[in-house]
Amino acid sequence: MRIYREKDYDAMSRRAAHVMAAEIIHRPDCVLGLATGSTPIGMYKQLIQWNKAGDITFKEVRTVNLDEYKGLSPEHDQGYRYFMQKQLFDHVDILPENTRVPDGLAADADAECAAYDAYIRSLGGIDLQLLGVGHNGHIGFNEPADVFVTPTHVVDLTERTIDANARFFATRDDVPRQAFTMGIGPIMAAKKILLIASGEEKAEAVYNTICGAVDPHCQGSILQLHPDVVMVADEAALSKVIAAGVKV
Ligand code: F6R
C-alpha cells in the first residue's frame, strides 16, 4: 500500500484528484468505482475544474457507484444518485448512460443486486475504485460483520452509521435503515484502489484498516490483501498510524 500523507483536507483532495485524473488520462475509457460522502467532495471539485479547463475528459469514462440507500428515489436529495449528479456528473462531460448507481427503488432487491454485479462484469470490472472509510471501518456500506460478503447485497445499517449519516437528514428517523452496497468481491477485484480519509474522527478506523488484523469487524482491513492500493489521507486521519511509529 502506498500512503500519501497530506497536511489537510484540501491537500488530500488535490492529491486524490491527481490519482484519479492520472487514471482517466492513461485510460480514457476507464471504469471508475465512485463513492459519496463528505470526503470526496473536494476531490470531485478539483476534477470538475480540470474538466472545465480541458485537462481531462469524461467522454468515454464509465462509472459505477458503491452504494445507495434502499427506498430513496434518484431525485431524493439525500440519495446517492442525487449526490453524484450535484457533486460531479452535472458539471462534467460524462454521458449519463455511462453512469450507474444502484436503484434504491428496485422492486426486486435481489434482482437489482445480481444485475449490478453482472453490469460490472460486462464492463470488464473496475479499473480504479475510490473508497472512503466509515468510523466503524466500513467500505461502501459493508458494515462490521462476522464475514466479508462478496456480491452486491442489501445491508442493515448499523446504529453508528445511522448516527454518522443523520447529519444530512432532517431527523435521525429519516435515515433509511437499509442500503444496497457493492460487496467486497467487486471492490477487491478492482485493478487499483484509491482510499481517502480526512479528519481526526477517522484516525481509529484508518489505523484499524491499514495496521489492524484483517478482520470483517473492520471491513476496510481486507484492503491489506489488495495488491495495488493508494491511500491518500491528511495528517489528522493518519495521526494514530503516525503515533504507532509507522513510517508514512
Ligand atoms: C459512500 C460510502 C461510504 C463512505 C464512508 C465515509 O459512498 O460508500 O463508505 O465513504 O461512510 O463517509 P464520509 O466521507 O462522509 O466520512
- Using a cut of 0.95, tell me whether the model's pTM lies above it: yes
132 lines ligand 1 (CB under 6 A): yes
* Of 98, 136, 165, 208, catalytic: 136
Using pLDDT thresholds of 50, 70 and 90, give the confidence band for residue 183: very high
Predicted local confidence at residue 209, as pLDDT: 98
d(CA 56, CA 183): 30
pLDDT in tens, 80-132: 999 999 999 999 999 999 999 999 999 999 999 999 999 999 999 999 999 99
Predicted local confidence at residue 31, as pLDDT: 98
Mean pLDDT of all residues in 196-214: 98
Compute the distance from residue 73 Cα to the ligand 1 centre, in Å: 19
134 lines ligand 1 (CB under 6 A): yes
Give Rg (Cα) of the chain: 17
201 lines ligand 1 (CB under 6 A): no
d(CA 234, CA 226): 22
pLDDT in tens, 22-33: 999 999 999 999
Predicted local confidence at residue 145, as pLDDT: 96
Q: Which amino acid is at 22?
A: A
Which residues, other chains included, contact 154 with Cβ-Cβ below 8 Å and sequence gap of 6+? Answer: 70, 109, 113, 178, 179, 180, 181
d(CA 181, CA 153): 6
Which residues, other chains included, contact 144 with Cβ-Cβ below 8 Å and sequence gap of 6+? Answer: 136, 137, 138, 158, 216, 217, 218, 219
Using pLDDT thresholds of 50, 70 and 90, give the confidence band for residue 236: very high
